[in-house]
Structure 1
Amino acid sequence: MASVMTTHAKEWKPAQNTIMSRWAAGVTPENVWRDYPRPQMRRHNWLNLNGLWDYAITKKDAEIPAEWDGKILVPFPVESALSGVKKSVGGENALWYRRKVTIPEEWQGQRLILHFGAVDWRMTLWINGKQIGKHSGGCDAFSFDITDAVTAKLEADIVISVWDPTDDGYQPRGKQVNEPQGIWYTSVTGIWQTVWMEAVPQAHINSLKITPDVDNGKVRVEVETAGIDRESRIADKYFLHLAAISDNKTITRAAGNCFGDVLELEIPDAELWSPDNPFLYDLKVTLTRDDEPLDEVTSYFAMRKFHVKKDESGINRIYINGKPIFLFGTLDQGWWPGGLYTPPSDEAMRYDIEVLKELGMNCIRKHVKVEPLRYYYHCDRLGMIVWQDMPNGDKHISESDPDITRTAESETNFRAEWKAIVNMLYNNVSIAIWCPFNEGWGQFKTNEILEWTKQLDPTRLVDGPSGWTDRGGGDMYDMHNYPGPGMFPVEESRVSVLGEFGGLGLPLKGHLWWDKRNWGYRSFKTREELNDAYINLITKLPQLISKGLAAAIYTQTTDVEGEVNGLMTYDRKVLKLDADKVRPHHLKLYQNPPE
């Protein structure tokens, strides 16, 4: 297998691209995205399937190809340069993948689970010619049990078909369009996060749901298991054992049965998580039968609480752990010149968060995109609060229009994908806010969806919606103001936030996606002019904070394709701001009261 990969690797190279980040040059088929993809439920027995796969583009309803077009580097989308292909697919076609895998002999007798970090948008899986299942959803992680389709020789011939209509369909797509321009970007089709396989016992741990309870000094853990028949005579021999660990020392334990009981761990004198102190506890979960370990996963959690309440002046503020906090950061698109949706590496993805942290920001609004789970892990451990959007889809409305009316199919799909996203990210410590709608994009049944989101996760705030078409629901009254800043009046039950402002543009030659058609809300010619204008905006925020502004999100972290209003260029090679000059102005925003 290794020799075949080496031979194919010599044939692969990135497609020609206008610009690339510095990490793109280090990408190879042998080293692409090797990190364990699920930080909050880790096992030892796993196989990374990133690398070179066969690919083909056919008509939408074609059968499995007899011949293949060439090699594609997974997990980069087919439209990207780092895939080695850089071809558009279109809604009239299907994208196919194929790879043969030899499974380790020591996995014999265990269940074989094939995992996908994300595939955009609708996919079908075959193993050794047998159709295993389908999945719709471009943002959420999912998996298939492929045990029964694998041969006795432990060989798996994996074939995948993907169909994605981009902006010709109703599905959540974020900023992808078939014809990129302005604030709309290149389409993304197919696998764009890690593909991997793991071996698990017949009876195993399937998922964790972790809820900190700061007020009572506890953490609640719901463990879902698989492969255990609740009605069998031996079911009562299975038990779950939990251990909370701090600095490599077990501080508390709990145990219980495998059938839906919520286990509680007492956390005495809990150290609380915050952007200034991103303290994480380790968690170990073990499944036993007759006191013999069957399966074990490791995870982590933190003790923290986000909520809204009135301060001493009777103004609603955002609180963390009983203390008011002003959220300040950037609108973050999460796009890359070489990989589009897919960062070139874990290091590159982490870099964006580290730059914002160094600039003195404490929040990222992840804009109409969901990142790989490792992104949120880095936010958890670095202390970066996340304001998470739902990727938009279906039709858009203007500020004065009524909500759109979705078809039953479109609404069912929206609810399924949003619920999957919320459930997938529920355990991540850093997420403080869910945002189902932005600026009327795909907005329907507004207050019903906001309330439903709150039911899915009562532990976070719900922004409803961000900008434009407010209907009075949610926890936040959200203004978009370019260049701004500005705010809505403080309300009785909601906080006033500035979900987008700024957008100051500076095109830098040699770092542009397009030579022409570059766009910003306001454009400047030099870094000095940009820095002066930026500081002028930031110095206006303290007065608004004193009046009740609870959060402000600047547009944006980086340039993206034709947009040149980033703090960094699209290739991340230039930080346009002078960090030493702007950081003190950012830090003043967190003083109480602000200067």
Structure 2
Amino acid sequence: MLMTKWGEDLNKNCPLSEYPRPQFKRDSYLNLNGIWQCEFCESEEIPSKFSYDIVVPFSPETPLSGVNRMLKSNEYLIYNKKFDLPDDFNKGKVFVHFGAVDQIAKVYLNGRFVGVHHGGYTPFSFEVSHLIQEHNTLNVVVRDLTEKNEYSRGKQKTNRGGIWYSAQSGIWQTVWLESTPDEYIPNVRITPDLDNQTVMFEADGNITVQKLIYDGDKLIADTTDTVVKLENVKEWSPENPFLYDVVFKYKNDEVRSYFGMRKFSVGTDDNGMPRLMLNNKPYFMNGLLDQGYYPDGLLTPPSNEAMKFDVKSIKNLGFNMLRKHIKIEPMLWYHYCDVNGIIVWQDMINGGGNYGLEVSAIPFVGINLDDSNYKTFKRTSLEARKLYYKELEEMIAVLYNCPCIAMWVPFNEGWGQFDSNYAYTLVKAMDSTRIVDSASGWHDRGQTDVISKHIYFTPIKVHSGNKPWCLTEFGGLSTRVKGHTFNNKMFGYKIFNSKQGITKAYKNLFEKTIIPQIKDGLSATVYTQVTDVEDELNGLFTYDRKVQKIDTEVLKSINERVKL
């Protein structure tokens, strides 16, 4: 069994114990991670006995859960957790938060129904003030059909292999309680405006919130204004990821947050070439595909230190961007990117039925398909299409305040793609401050901010147009490191038998193909990928993060030249 060093040292009684939402932080926090009970049932009736102990928030399919059993499509996964509420915890209202539960979750507290959430990748919460007691029993009833209901599923597949990974189910992010006063701050939407040197704070609930803005320890604003003018603005960038701290106050409620003054846009350089822009200057985004998988936790990091390791390692190698591929991470991951200066391109989660020629063959012969044909793209379920938009809105809402996010990616490689022009319009209506790659790779229907190309098998040739030309996936050079693989299989786009071989190929790829074409309009690159994932052995790190395949000095030397 392949394990990370963090999984080997797991504290089963309280894993991932850090406060999970640094972008909107209260002092009130009760972590419910740890040892729960669960049962696999034929109905959703809560059983009187539970056969398994399970370490939450790890899915039962993962080694770290202690269960190692797959939820079948005709089964319900039912959780049971008993907990006591500290005497001084309840300040008026109590909320239970779930970072993510895959795919459908019904929540019960002390035998009473609380609520239901559809969608396996977005956080949700319920107020439970009327049900909470000194001694409590929390039950979660889960249904997960993976690809059978066309819901969002990401890279999961019942019959895993190649670029598709192990299916998993149930709770896979932190579960926690929070208490607020009866009158509290539901949310504040933060929008930096670098051009006007202002920041806008929009509070939910039509309430007047006091904002205290800090530059380090220095208080620079104390106001209830919605739009606040800043003097001598310090910009956020990968080179200097400066963050302003802000404290929100409303009656007896207090929340701490932060923001970065930065602007992402598209424009032209001095030669009239379309470029991605950071803070109104042409900026080359040099990144990696990051799928956020772990051999012992799958989608769930074995610890928050594991997420921090990924972000800091990539920054140390000289990259300035990560494309978060088909996954919504715990909020702490985005915080680490904010603090360390890593730009993020955020994918939406793919869904739909079983994919066919529309993704596996047709794009490689240059055919661009009409994504309003739902049958072609395996998006025949109206319910699942509606849920896609709901989850898209949830994703943008929860991640909106993260300074690191530069781009939204609604669809990837035609996987369950539909009406991408409408998705582009919808995303822009929700968030006009970021770039949108509406159909990454292929099946571009016209409404998008970039020219987005995935090229693995054919020569990479930049053909500049009226939008920034971005190589949004490429590379995938592979080598096996004995003793550090998920199994004996090997998937990669080009396979090498040694560290020397993959290093030489990587250098040739960048020095002969990538760097020379930056002057021709190449505006961003996303190399595949950060780590190996199951059969895929094309990471710069092994799946367990214990071996780096190409030396740091080599990567840093190349990355110093991957810029405008």
Q: Which residue of the partner structure matches residue 244 of structure 2?
A: 281
Q: Where in structure 2 are there 5+ consecutive unaligned residues?
A: none
1:116 aligns with 2:91: no
Contact in 2 for aligned 1:272/1:279 (Cα 8 Å): yes
Find the residue that maps to 1:37 and give its secondary structure: coil
In structure 1, which of residues 312, 321, 324 is the aligned counterpart of residue 279 of structure 2?
321
| 1:156-184 CA-partner distances (Å, limit 9, x unpaired) | 21011011101222111110001110010
The question of 1:489 aligning with 2:443 is answered no
Report if aligned partners of 1:504, 1:522 keep a CA contact under 8 Å in 2.
yes
2:224 is aligned to: 255
Given that 2:247 and 2:256 are in contact with CA atoms closer than 8 Å, whether structure 1 keeps it comes out as yes
Conserved 8 A contact 1:451-1:474: no
Structure 2 contact 91–180 (Cα < 8 Å) conserved:
no
State the 1:483 CA deviation: 5.4
Residue 148 of structure 2 is matched in structure 1 by 168
**Pairwise CA distance, 1:239:** 4.0
Q: 1:295 to 1:485 in 2, by over 3 A?
A: farther
Q: Distance in 2 between matches of 1:431 and 1:483?
A: 29
Cα deviations across residues 138-168 of structure 1 (Å, max 9, x unaligned)?
11111000111123xx222101101110122
| 2:34 corresponds to 1:51 | yes
| Aligned-partner Cα distance in 2 for 1:173–1:391 | 7
Name the counterpart of 1:264.
Answer: 227
Q: Name the residue aligned to 2:267.
A: 309
Q: Distance in 2 between matches of 1:92 and 1:31?
A: 31
Residue 108 (structure 1) shift = 4.2
Contact 1:178 1:187 in 2 (8 A): yes
Check the 8 A contact 1:90/1:166 in 2, yes or no. Answer: no
Q: Does 1:461 align with 2:435?
A: yes
2:455 counterpart of 1:473: no
CA distances 1:221-248 after superposition (whole Å, capped 9, x unpaired): 11124xxxx8xxxxxxx74210110111
Equivalent residues in 2 for 1:197-276, closer than 5 Å: 197-225=177-205, 239-255=208-224, 263-276=226-239
Percentage identity across aligned positions?
Answer: 39
| 2:59–2:172 Cα contact (<8 Å) kept | yes
2:352 aligned to which of 389, 394, 404:
394
- SS of 1:380's equivalent in the other structure is helix
Please tell me the residue identity of whatever aligns with 1:102.
Answer: D
Residue of 1, 5, 13 corresponding to 1:30 = 13
Alignment-derived partner of residue 381 in structure 1 = 339
- Alpha-carbon distance in 2 for matches of 1:239, 1:186: 47
Shift of 1:577: 0.5
Work out the CA distance in 1 between the residues paired with 2:193 and 2:461: 32
Partner of 1:538: 510
- Equivalent pair of 1:278/1:383 in contact (CA under 8 Å): yes
Which moves more between the two structures, 187-196 or 400-409?
400-409
Per the normalisation by structure 1, the TM-score is 0.90
Deviations 1:170-221 (A, max 9, x none): 1111100011100100012011111000111110011111000001111101
Secondary structure of the equivalent of 1:54?
strand
1:253 CA drift (Å): 2.1
Greater shift, 578-587 or 176-185, is seen at 578-587
Q: Which residue of 2 aligns with 1:3?
A: none
Partner of 2:423: 449
Q: Is the 8 A contact 2:102 2:170 kept in 1?
A: yes
> What residue number does 2:396 align with?
422
Of 375, 390, 406, the residue aligned with 1:432 is 406
**Structure 1, unaligned runs of 5 or more:** 1-17, 231-237, 257-262, 289-293
CA distance in 1 between counterparts of 2:497 and 2:406 reads: 37
8 A contact 2:41–2:75 mirrored in 1: yes
Kindly indicate whether the alpha-carbon contact (under 8 Å) linking 1:244 and 1:265 is maintained by their aligned counterparts in 2: no
Deviation string for 1:116-140 (max 9, x for gaps)?
1111110001111110110011111
AA at the equivalent of 1:105: D
Corresponding letter in the other structure for 1:280: L
Offset, 1:56:
0.5
SS in 2 for 1:546: coil
Following superposition of structure 1 onto structure 2, how do residues 492-571 of structure 1 map, counting pairs within 5 Å? 492=466, 494-515=467-488, 517-539=489-511, 540-571=513-544
Q: Counterpart of 2:124?
A: 142
RMSD in angstroms over aligned alpha carbons?
A: 1.3
Question: Cα distance, 1:458 vs. partner?
Answer: 0.5
Distance, in Å, in 2 between the alignment partners of 1:487 and 1:168 is: 39
SS in 1 for 2:219: strand
SS state at 2:439 partner? strand
SS of 1:350 mapped into structure 2: helix
Give distance in 2, aligned partners of 1:182 and 1:537.
23
Q: Work out the CA distance in 1 between the residues paired with 2:517 and 2:464.
A: 11
1:55 deviation in Å?
Answer: 0.6
Distance in 1 of aligned mates of 2:70 and 2:507: 41
Task: Check whether the contact 2:44–2:78 (CA below 8 A) recurs between aligned residues.
Answer: no
Q: What secondary structure sits across from 1:95 in the alignment?
A: strand
- What secondary structure does 1:451 align onto? helix
CA deviations 1:316-357 (Å, max 9, x no partner) are 101111111101111111100000000110111111111111
The amino acid that maps onto 2:231 is P
Q: Structure 1 residues 484, 556: closer, same or farther in 2, change over 3 A?
A: farther
Partner SS state of residue 166, structure 2: coil
CA distance in 1, matches of 2:458, 2:401: 34
Q: Distance in 2 between the 1:542 and 1:54 partners?
A: 54
Q: Secondary structure at the match of 1:296?
A: strand
> What are the Cα deviations for residues 434-483 of structure 1, in whole angstroms up to 9, with x where unaligned?
00111110110121111211111100000021112111221011111115
Q: Which amino acid aligns with 1:468?
A: W
Give the 3 Å change call, closer, same or farther, for CA 277–408 of structure 1 in structure 2. same
Q: Which moved more, 1:271-280 or 1:90-99?
A: 90-99
Distance 2:483 2:148 in 1: 33
> Could you tell me whether the CA contact under 8 Å between 1:479 and 1:487 is conserved in 2?
no
Q: Aligned partners of 2:529, 2:31: CA distance in 1, in Å?
A: 33
Residue 484 to residue 582, structure 1, CA distance change in 2 (3 Å) = farther
Alpha-carbon separation, structure 1, partners of 2:415 and 2:249: 44
User: 1 CA distance for matches of 2:350 and 2:103?
Assistant: 13
TM-score normalised by length of structure 2: 0.95
**Partners of 1:274 and 1:501 in 2: CA distance:** 25
Q: What CA distance in whole angstroms lies between the structure 2 residues aligned with 1:109 and 1:453? A: 37
**Does 2:132 match 1:159?**
no
In structure 1, C-alpha distance between the alignment counterparts of 2:153 and 2:239, rounded to whole Å: 34
User: Which residue of 2 is the match for residue 74 of structure 1?
Assistant: 56
Deviation at 1:489, TM superposition (A): 2.1
Amino acid at match of 1:125: V
1:273–1:303 Cα contact (<8 Å) kept: yes
Query: Match of 2:438, SS?
Result: strand
Separation (CA, whole Å) in 2 of partners of 1:378 and 1:372: 11
The 2-side partners of 1:450 and 1:108 are apart by 42
Please tell me whether the aligned partners of residues 464 and 477 of structure 1 are also in contact (alpha carbons under 8 angstroms).
Answer: no
Alignment of 1:565-580 (within 5 A): 565-580=538-553
